[in-house]
Amino acid sequence: MNHNEAVRRVTLPLTKEIVSSFRMGERVLLTGPMFTLRDAGHQRLVALLERNEDPPFPLEGAVIFYVGPTPPLPGYAMGSAGPTTSYRMDPYAPYLIARGLRGMIGKGKRSPEVIDAMTRYGCVYFAATGGAGALLSHAIESSEILFWEDLGTEALRQIRVRDFPVTVAIDTEGRDLYDEGPAAWRAMQNIVVDNIADGERTEDD
């Protein structure tokens, strides 16, 4: 993971080839259409598919952003758009990934079952910055409710984004920033402590 690498710009929807090229820790700017949905909407979407009904949007290549936005301020397409904790969608994500979902945006760790589906079928998990919902909304150019308006803020929306900032949290090889990132940080801290200790011993000598 190299924080000095250039940010990568990617146009949506995603292809399997592009998804397989992402690497954990990579910073990405997304441009194009994506869909917003949370746990209640996921439950309805999976139930609909299990009844062999057509989905309200094409799953192949799609990216779902886990968000329940606030009402928009004047001049904006969407209000604060901070990511939802992703584990709420874990019971439904493998089913959708197996049917072509290529990207998910949220925050927090994912279950082993989700990661297994990602590596098996080709899907990437992006992390968006929690607590920065107002800033993220600046990258959203349009928003349209497609389905389940009765869910209010959790309705299924299609949004169009430009240079929407995310980080690859889990790639198609199963590398997990939430596991490897803290481990790398701890290793770096140990190196710093060892260097300080070596310096103190040198001074004592």
The model's pLDDT over 122-137, given as tens digits with 9 standing for 90+, comes to: 999 999 987 667 778 8
Q: Are 34 and 63 in contact (CB under 8 A)?
A: yes
pTM over 0.75: yes
Neighbours of 122 (CB within 10 A): 19
Phi then psi for 147, rounded to 5 degrees?
-160, 155
Q: Is the dihedral of CA 110, 28, 101, 32 positive or negative?
A: positive
The model's pLDDT over 28-59, given as tens digits with 9 standing for 90+, comes to: 999 999 999 999 999 999 999 999 999 999 99
